Amino acid sequence: MASHSLIVGGSTAKRVINCPGSVALVAKMPPKDSSTYADRGTLLHNAMATILDSDTVTPESMLWTTFKGETLTGELLNEKILPALAALDAVDPEGVMEYAVETVVGFGAYLPGVFGSADLLGRLGNRAVVLDWKFGDGVAVSAEENEQGLFYAAAAMRTPETAWVFEGAEEVEIVIVQPPAVKRWVTTVKRVKEFERSLKRAVKASAMPDAAIVVGDHCRWCAAKPLCPKMTGAVDRAVKVQLENLPAETIGAYLGNADLLEDWIKDLRALAMTMMEAGAKVPGYKLVAKRSVRKWLDEGKANKALAAMGIDPVKLELVSPAQAEKLLKPSKQALPDDLVASVSSGTTFAPESDPRPEVLQIGQQLTAALSKLV
């Protein structure tokens, strides 16, 4: 879940440790409105906590519960809640783990004002378990050296209500459940304490006027990208580059920073929109109405009128294979293999670490080979 700390919490620990200067920059940003994705995540977290906190609440009984306009549908139940519960069964197959859900944990006097909400803290034999639900469909999250998990483990050790999870524990396991994936990493109490010391150094450094600002993958979710001097400097340098003259090696290196620059542009536009909607003036820009799209005032009336004019107003289309599979789910029928073929819409580029096989440009290679024979 999202942190409740103004300085650092579970979801921002990685950023603050790697970039202490980001704390002051984030403090200058206007508050961001909640998004559909965030509200849906909260809905799913709430459902999991309700189910696990009760012996009588079933997953099916949570259907159609809502949070800020988001509804727990049968699709979300099947794709998120049930796989998450199955993942918990894999961690605790005997069902003997003692656990606490949605628990606020903090560092007390060691780091005043630094706290967050842990999704699940449990104890299995000599192992303490820190489990985090990730219900988003975006970036895959690793469990190994996961700063959010380490944050919750360190904070829970210092929280009187959750210290029992770690008393006498020989191992600490960080579990990331991102349905349908389950990722697990076992570490030690010593490693958690090392993380805690790193966190304290970062929080102390963040209060300094010359706190370091460092660009990296921790920038992805930073709200202060539009103000960050390192990011704006990277943009300025990129604008000046003549792409057509760059060697392939340099292009490959620049692509590594492309995601950060794209995120910066997206956040800059969102910040400008927020400011202008609040009445602020952004030189060179203004708010305008989006392109108008005509709509029927009364679809029933339009249907009859068009039919009377000799037009068939209803357009029928065959459902897609993906839509057909969803329709077949309730009856547990499989889509026949001889009806479907996977056809790529084209090519795109990806890092060499991507598991997909490389596309061989046979035509271009053949042309190049033939040209050498001429």
Query: What are the pLDDT digits (tens) for 258-282?
Result: 777 788 888 888 888 888 888 888 8
DSSP 136: -
At 127 the three-state DSSP class reads strand
Domain borders along the chain are 10-206, 224-277
Question: In the prediction, which pLDDT does 116 show?
Answer: 94
Q: Do the beta carbons of residue 335 and residue 328 sit within 8 Å?
A: yes
Q: Across 66-75, 219-228, 266-275, 317-326, which has the greatest mean pLDDT?
A: 66-75
Residues 111-122, mean pLDDT to the nearest whole number: 95
For 30, 90, 259, the CA distances from 100, given in Å and listed in that order, are 34, 18, 37
Look at 60 and 362; give whichever has higher pLDDT: 60
pLDDT-based confidence at residue 2 (cuts at 50, 70, 90) = very low
Q: Could you give the dihedral angle defined by the CA atoms of residues 73, 75, 77 and 83, in that order, rounded to the nearest 10 degrees?
A: -160
Question: In the prediction, which pLDDT does 323 show?
Answer: 82
pLDDT greater than 60 at residue 374: no
pLDDT-based confidence at residue 184 (cuts at 50, 70, 90) = very high
- CATH of 10-206, picked from 3.90.930, 3.90.320, 2.60.40, 3.30.420, is 3.90.320
Q: Do the beta carbons of residue 4 and residue 115 sit within 8 Å?
A: yes
Question: In the prediction, which pLDDT does 3 show?
Answer: 38
Q: What's the pTM?
A: 0.69
pLDDT greater than 50 at residue 197: yes
Look at 46 and 345; give whichever has higher pLDDT: 46
Question: In the prediction, which pLDDT does 152 show?
Answer: 98
Question: In the prediction, which pLDDT does 361 show?
Answer: 61
Question: In the prediction, which pLDDT does 4 show?
Answer: 37
Question: In the prediction, which pLDDT does 369 show?
Answer: 56
